[in-house]
């Protein structure tokens, strides 16, 4: 019998797509859509009348959920657009390392230390509240293989 070589798999990705298709006319304000290959939140939407060739066009304006940049796109209302799978999770902040990484604890007790302190006012608010000794919950948005802390709030569950 031949020796069976040990195989090692580094990752166990299910191969699921980061997006799913949705008809342009079914998209709504405050929903999510992929604009210029970036996951965006729709902030403005307008529909034009059908033209000479019979397609109503939808004008979308979205803000990148990670960088905050504004993107625009125009698409016929009958065409499909990609919508990103967006997952939102709350973590409890346990520590901030010297190199700017957050130590976050999930509801089940799992720790993760792979997210940096976010840029801008969310990061400033997070550092100030942490330095003040408050118990903080961080809301993490995950989409298309990227994750970022988008909001912080003081954990009031411990006061009860």
Q: DSSP states of 28-54 as a string?
A: -TT-EEEETTEEEEEEEEEEPPP-TTS
Q: What is the pLDDT of residue 16?
A: 65
pLDDT in tens, 62-73: 999 988 899 999
Distance CA 68, CA 43 (A): 12
pLDDT of residue 117: 85
Which structural domains are found in the chain, ordered by start?
19-84 (2.30.30.30), 86-154 (2.40.50.140)
Task: Please count the other Cβ atoms lying within 10 Å of the Cβ belonging to residue 125.
Answer: 15
Measured distance CA(50)–CA(57) in Å, rounded: 7
pLDDT at residue 14, as a whole number: 58
Handedness of CA 73, 79, 84, 86 (dihedral sign): positive
Looking at residue 40, its pLDDT comes to 93
pLDDT computed for residue 157 by the predictor: 66
Distance of CA 67 to the CA centre of its chain: 10
pLDDT at residue 121, as a whole number: 86
Intervals of the chain under pLDDT 70: 1-16, 157-160
Ordered alpha helix ranges (H), the chain: 121-131
């Amino acid at each position: 019998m031949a020796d069976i070589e040990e195989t090692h798999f580094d990752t166990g990705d299910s191969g699921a797509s980061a997006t799913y298709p949705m008809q342009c006319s079914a998209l709504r304000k405050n929903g999510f859509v992929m604009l210029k290959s970036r996951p965006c939140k729709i902030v403005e939407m307008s529909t034009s009348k059908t033209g000479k060739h019979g397609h109503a066009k939808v004008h979308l304006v979205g803000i990148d959920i990670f960088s905050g940049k504004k993107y625009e796109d125009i698409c016929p209302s009958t065409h499909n657009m990609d919508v990103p799978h967006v997952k939102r999770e709350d973590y409890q902040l346990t520590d901030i390392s010297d190199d700017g990484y957050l130590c976050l604890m999930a509801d089940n007790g799992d720790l993760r230390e792979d997210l940096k302190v976010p840029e801008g006012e969310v990061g400033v608010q997070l550092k100030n509240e942490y330095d003040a000794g408050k118990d903080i919950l961080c809301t993490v948005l995950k989409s298309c293989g990227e994750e970022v802390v988008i909001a912080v709030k003081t954990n009031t569950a411990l006061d009860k």
